[in-house]
Structure 1
Amino acid sequence: MSPRNWADDEAGAEEPFWRAAPPARPRTVHGGIQINSTRGPVARTWWSARFLAVLEAAGVGGRLARGRTYARRGQTVSLQVDAGAATARVQGSAARPYRVRIGVPTLDKAQWTAVLDALAADASLTAAMLAGELPREVEDVVAAQGVDLFPSGSRDLAMDCTCPDATVPCKHLAAVFYLLAERFDADPFAVLALRGRDRETVLDELRARRTRAPEAPPLPTDPVAFYGGGSPELPAGPSTPPDALLDRVPALPLAVRGRDVVELLRPLYRALDDR
């Protein structure tokens, strides 16, 4: 028997079963949600760049590239950002889109009160937010209250997808992360919405805090109460004799029964002062 030619066998043999089926391609979606970036970095503003940097630090960023093609092809059918979660439907190779959920903890009432009080205390920051901007300094103000605006690690991220892929994040989750980043480009207030308060609620709270003035107590009508327990001591004026005016009258060439007219009037002035 001639030596077995393994090269000939491999050339004529069928591929093993694990190589026979090519990777399933995702089904085409018409009208899906696409990111604007067709090549290169996805982030266009500080907010999206910061979000992706946080994912990198959380150990998620290394697997995001798996979903970049999905995000650019528009495989995402729907995306909703609500308090505590971003939910989406992403079309893969299956007949129905996969359901994707990215969850983050919301801030509790006490945390939101501290954050909003701190934001309202900065007049320039509040003015910018009421004008529709979200300055990057907001993250520092929030952090000063002991609160993380973005997820601080993988423990702050809940990632679920109905696809059979065991890798987390799968390409469907990764695609939604890219869409979220671009959503933050278009509306940075979506970062706050994800943490529990939407744009209108935040702005209404800031307006209320900026216009709220402490009510002054009504003035007491009782003079004693007004002056704190006693009537005021008014300053005394200079002591002027009632007939001092007569001293400024020039001498008159008149006399009554031999007496000067001014001297006759002096008792009358003094009598009027006694009344």
Structure 2
Amino acid sequence: MSDWHGERPPAGRHPAARPIRVEGGLTLRSKRGDVARTWWSRRFVEVLESFGMGGRLDRGRAYARTGQVMSLSLSTSLVVALVMGSRPEPYRARIGVRKFSDEDWRRIEHVLADRAVFAAKLLAGEMPPEIEDVFAGLGLTLFPQSPRELSMDCTCPDWEVPCKHLAATCYLLAESFDTDPFEILAWRGRSREDLLDRLRELRDPMPPPEDRPDDTPPDPEDDLAAFWLRPKAPAVPEPDELPTRRPDAILDELPPLTVNGRSLTDDLRPLYRRFAT
């Protein structure tokens, strides 16, 4: 239920006031008709409508399309939006959902890791429909199944829930799910980075160094981390291991030098040998 600040108007009577226009507010890409484009975003809207919110959601569609929502942030289990109404200060609309426990996520991650197609499609910006079966098989649901799983409140004086500020937030949230399905999972308690890191660990486990049978470094073809290391430089031979070279060998690379018919090259050889001793 929306929070109330100030004196409530009589039941059935609401002061008619035009909202203050916002410059640079968030707007829906959809300018008419349905908002959601993907199956998972439509599913979210259908869930809200199944709770008897359909008619009330329509009240906020115009707000969402004209940019009255100033900001929208999503974190674990909570979405917060600032929505400008007819008063100088924007209203704060909040939508909360129950997040899954760490144990729930441990079970979810093991199932997702066993089927690489889920991570691949999520990275491609898609939510595979079969993912709902994964959650159902674990006794969980990706989308809320009853109003008890959602909490909504707004600082506006409207009695109805959702008010138009919350409804506008719902539509923008649905469109954000369209763009990035990972946000649905983040809302339930796992950020994109944490989930992908965990799936990589489960699919490509690397034993710690102390668990390896000896000190032999892993084969680079089997060790993804070693792939990015600088290759080891070849050992520099000790001076006594270097091949011997005559000190006057450089003279062999020069063209013959003669002065008055005498070979200057032959005259220089004793000097080069003497300097090398």
- 1:130 Cα deviation (Å)? 4.5
Other-structure match for 1:118:
111
Other-structure match for 1:48:
41
TM-score in terms of structure 1 length: 0.68
Alignment of 1:249-268 (within 5 A): none
**Could you list the per-position Cα deviations for residues 90-133 of structure 1 after superposition, in whole angstroms to 9, with x for gaps in the alignment?**
00001100011000011001100011111111132233335554
Whether the 8 Å contact between 1:129 and 1:203 is mirrored in structure 2 is: no
Alignment of 1:184-263 (within 5 A): 184-212=177-205
**Cα distance in structure 2, aligned partners of 1:96 and 1:131:** 39
Whether the 8 Å contact between 1:90 and 1:98 is mirrored in structure 2 is: yes
Whether the 8 Å contact between 2:64 and 2:172 is mirrored in structure 1 is: yes
Q: Give the residue type in structure 2 aligned to 1:90.
A: V
- 1:134 Cα deviation (Å)? 3.0
Following TM superposition, the consecutive aligned residue runs of length 4 or more in structure 1 with deviations greater than 4 angstroms are: 213-219
Whether the 8 Å contact between 1:76 and 1:90 is mirrored in structure 2 is: yes
Q: Could you list the runs of 5+ residues in structure 2 that have no partner in the other structure?
A: 1-10, 215-277
**Cα distance in structure 2, aligned partners of 1:63 and 1:132:** 30
Question: Greater shift after overlay, 179-188 or 22-31?
Answer: 22-31
Q: Secondary structure at the match of 2:21?
A: coil
**Cα distance in structure 1, aligned partners of 2:98 and 2:82:** 21
Could you say which structure has the larger radius of gyration?
Answer: 1
**Cα distance in structure 1, aligned partners of 2:156 and 2:33:** 27
Whether the 8 Å contact between 2:122 and 2:181 is mirrored in structure 1 is: no
Whether the 8 Å contact between 1:60 and 1:154 is mirrored in structure 2 is: no
What percent identity do the matched residue pairs reach?
Answer: 54
Whether the 8 Å contact between 2:144 and 2:150 is mirrored in structure 1 is: yes
Other-structure match for 2:28:
35
**Could you list the per-position Cα deviations for residues 25-81 of structure 1 after superposition, in whole angstroms to 9, with x for gaps in the alignment?**
100000000011111111111121011011112222231001001001110000001
Q: Secondary structure at the match of 1:86?
A: strand
Other-structure match for 2:158:
165
**Could you list the per-position Cα deviations for residues 127-159 of structure 1 after superposition, in whole angstroms to 9, with x for gaps in the alignment?**
333555432222221221111111111101100
* Partner of residue 60 from structure 2, selected from 39, 60, 67: 67
Q: Could you list the runs of 5+ residues in structure 1 that have no partner in the other structure?
A: 1-17, 220-275
Alignment of 1:109-188 (within 5 A): 109-188=102-181
Question: Greater shift after overlay, 124-133 or 31-40?
Answer: 124-133
RMSD value, Cα? 2.5
Q: Secondary structure at the match of 1:60?
A: helix
Q: Give the residue type in structure 2 aligned to 1:61.
A: G
Residue 81 in 1 paired to residue 79 in 2? no
**Cα distance in structure 2, aligned partners of 1:99 and 1:91:** 9
Residues 213/141 of structure 1: CA separation in 2 closer, same or farther (3 Å cut) = farther
Q: Give the residue type in structure 2 aligned to 1:87.
A: V
* Partner of residue 106 from structure 1, selected from 95, 99, 111: 99
Other-structure match for 2:16:
23
